[in-house]
Amino acid sequence: PNHRAWWKESSVYQIWPASFKDSNNDGIGDIPGIISELDYIKNLGVDIVWLCPSYKSPQVDMGYDIADYYSIADEYGTVADVEKLIQGCHQRGMKLLMDLVVNHTSDQHEWFKQSRSSKDNEYRDWYVWRPPRYDEDGNRQPPNNWISHFQGSAWQFDEHTGEYYLHLYATEQPDLNWEHPPVVKAVHDIVRFWLNKGCDGFRMDVINFISKDQNFPDAEVTDARRGWQWGDKFYANGPRLHEYLQGIGAILKEYDAFSVGEMPFVKDEKEVLKAVQFDRNEINMIFNFEHVDIDHGPHANKFEPGSWKLSQLKEFFARWQTFMYANDGWNALYWENHDQPRSIDRFANAPEEYRRDSSKMLAIALALQSGTPFVYQGQEIGEQKKDYFNAEAQAIAQQEYQKKSRDNARTPVQWSDAENAGFTGPGVKPWMSVNPDYVRVNAAAEVKDPNSTYHFWASVLGLRKKYLDVFVYGDWVQVDKPNEEVFAFTRQYENQKALVVCNFTAKTVDWNAGSNGVSSIKEVILNNYDGTTEATQRFSGGKWSLRPYEAV
Ligand code: TEU
Ligand code: CA
């Protein structure tokens, strides 16, 4: 039942522009900097480049607060630079995705400035305005108890007109009102504008939040310690979401464009399938959050400590792999992005000596599953978080911030062992300090070393293409489900079958292949320790000795 499509066969490289590469020594990454590294990206074997928001913005939320969808932030370049970037990608046989952030705008967007200016301004209904509520003591309160993703109430009172506006994210990020038809039309215009410039599709920010329950009911109190509660039930996959997605989907289809929607909070399979099933023409795939929320604390609180087990991670994968495959849906596969800590620290937690082995293991574990793999800048060279200071000496809350802060993934890309890691010129102060481990971990060294993580990623992505039927279109079945040390699965397409086995620990693990139904193998086609001939020898029997973080 699974349709073939070019976007299923592709893989994506994500660029977060502020920290990618600085071309003019102002300490901030920019589009010409990206253009200068297109060969580096191409040689990794990816097919698509996703550029995070680069539009004009006050940068309250690093570009996820857009002040003008039709111009580029001065620090990143110009629309002409984006056109050059598109050209550069196309010349190399790659495509370019832009970020479409249309759940909210910046409060500096002209639409919002108009909207807040008076109740009868023609833009008033472009945003979500509601009158205050009053408690028993007559104190003014927000229209409901929803919490903002960035803390506090999701409503901001505006003295000027005496009403509150909704902001699911920062106060400076007012939510657009999709119930108002001109908003929908304005989004369609933006989509067409960039597609007409040659952009090949979009990553859509929190796209499942655009339709809200218009009664704006109070959310259930799930954590009485705080005044505000998660209202996701009333805005994640709201009543008109699929109508809105079909509206955008129709335009994307005209251009045969790519789409991936970010969808926090969504676990319901039926809802997900409505968005991604092949014939529905909504979006190609979504980013789900189950596996990356695995270490969050109770009460959906990211910065509370949470522990996790490998079997749980495997269960999340198994669920998404299975229901998508069975229903002609499609997965977006990712460990990292600009909001998530680095995967080596988080999912492998490897001692320094196994940093490289574990980064390779994670590449196999992710990219050989069913779905379109996404690689986030720096992941391809095994970047890790900065070693801030002695975590033992810190309060628990502070440790959690250090572990999970978005800054972990936002440090400048480590290009070489030159000053500032070659991200910006010598003597320049980069906008965010460079991870001092750049002297060891950097792209130049990785490109030079045939055994590097960078070249290994290229092998994994190459293998996926070489055995396209199996690794892209094959089914996915978990092997040895309860094992807390090993993640194993098979991919099968007609009479071709591949087995993938990954040791997630820092010790040698004896894995009983035989008792897991693997009586023999034909050959090892990729392994992060030996050449394939040695590995085929080593793994031909029924008992396998997997070295620390070995993947085969
Ligand atoms: O992120 C959505 C999302 O779920 C995050 O808000 C997440 O909960 C947050 O990072 C908590 O640490 C998207 C973008 O990826 C993010 O960078 C933006 O800040 C956010 O939307 C608002 O546009
Ligand atoms: Ca710059």
Ligand sitting nearest the alpha carbon of 230: 1
Q: Report which bound ligand comes closest to the CA of 100.
A: 1
Q: Are 81 and 32 in contact (CB under 8 A)?
A: yes
Contact 334, 374 (CB under 8 A): yes
Report how far ligand 1's centroid is from the alpha carbon of 300 (Å).
Answer: 14
Residue bearing the CA closest to ligand 1, atom 6? 149
Give tens-digit pLDDT for 233-269: 999 999 999 999 999 999 999 999 999 999 999 989 9
Average pLDDT, the chain: 96
**Residue with CA closest to ligand 1 atom 17:** 339
CATH superfamily of 6-105+180-464: Glycosidases (3.20.20.80)
**Is 205 considered catalytic here?**
yes
- pLDDT score for 399: 81
pLDDT band at 167 (very low <50, low <70, confident <90, very high): very high
Residue ranges covered by each domain of the chain: 6-105+180-464, 110-166, 474-546
* pLDDT tens per residue, range 437-496: 999 999 999 999 999 999 999 999 999 999 999 999 999 999 999 999 999 999 999 999
pLDDT recorded at residue 541? 87
3-state secondary structure of 51: strand
Residues with CB under 6 A from ligand 1: 61, 64, 101, 149, 169, 205-206, 262, 264, 302, 338-339, 406
Give the distance (Å) from ligand 2 centre to CA of residue 245.
35
396: pLDDT strictly greater than 80: no
pLDDT per residue as tens digits for the range 117-129: 999 999 999 999 9
**CB-facing half-sphere around the CA of 200: CA atoms within 13 A:** 20
Mutate to test the pocket of ligand 1, among 109, 149, 150, 167 (most ligand atoms within 8 A of CB): 149
Q: What is the CATH number of domain 110-166?
A: 3.90.400.10
Query: Which ligand does the CA of 407 lie closest to?
Result: 1
> Residue 420 Cα, ligand 2 centroid: separation in angstroms?
14
Which listed residue (47, 205, 295, 446) is catalytic?
A: 205
CA of 461 to the centre of ligand 1 (A): 28
- State in Å: Cα 527 to ligand 1 middle: 35
Whether the predicted pLDDT of 390 surpasses 80:
no
**Dihedral of the alpha carbons of 338, 272, 172, 231, in degrees to the nearest 10:** -120
Q: Which ligand 1 atom is nearest residue 101's CA?
A: 23
When computed from its CA atoms, the radius of gyration of the chain, rounded to whole angstroms, is 24
The pLDDT, as a whole number, for residue 83 is 98
Which of the four pLDDT bands, split at 50, 70 and 90, describes residue 1? low
Give nearest CA residue, ligand 1 atom 14: 205
Architecture category of domain 474-546 in CATH:
Sandwich (2.60)
Question: Active-site residue among 262, 295, 336, 446?
Answer: 262
User: What ipTM did this prediction achieve?
Assistant: 0.95
pLDDT per residue as tens digits for the range 96-142: 999 999 999 999 999 999 999 999 999 999 999 999 999 999 999 99
Question: Which pair of structure tokens corresponds to residue 226?
Answer: 């705080």
Confidence of residue 397 (pLDDT cuts 50, 70, 90): confident
The position carrying tokens 């920062």 is 170
Confidence of residue 386 (pLDDT cuts 50, 70, 90): confident
- The minimum-distance atom of ligand 1 relative to the CA of 339 is 10
Question: What DSSP string describes 301-368?
Answer: -TTSB----HHHHHHHHHHHHHHHHHTT--BEE-S--TTS--HIIIII---GGGHHHHHHHHHHHHHT
Residue 387 has pLDDT above 90, yes or no: no
Catalytic site includes residue 339: no
Mind spelling out the 3-state secondary structure of 498-539?
A: EEEEEECCCCCEEEECHHHCCCCCCCCCCCCCCCHHHHHHHC
What is the CA(88)–ligand 2 centre distance, in A?
19
